[in-house]
A = this chain, B = another copy of it.
Amino acid sequence: MARSKTRIVRAVFPNSTNHYDTLFGGITLKWMDEVAFITATRFGRKKFVTVSSDRVDFNMPIPGGHFAELIGEVVKVGKSSLIVDVTLMLEAMYEEGQVEAVKGSFTLVAINDERKAVPIFS
Q: Which residues of A line the B interface, CB within 8 A?
A: 6-20, 22, 24-27, 29-35, 37-38, 41-42, 45-47, 49-58, 61, 64-65, 67, 91, 93-96, 104, 115
Interface of A is mostly: mixed
In the complex, 15 of the A-B residue pairs with CB atoms within 8 angstroms, ordered by the A residue number, are A6-B9, A8-B9, A20-B47, A22-B49, A25-B53, A26-B32, A29-B29, A45-B93, A45-B94, A45-B95, A46-B94, A49-B58, A49-B61, A52-B56, A52-B58
What B residues does A20 contact at CB under 8 A? Answer: 47, 49
Query: How many copies altogether?
Result: 6
Minimum CB–CB distance from A101 to chain B (whole Å) comes to: 12
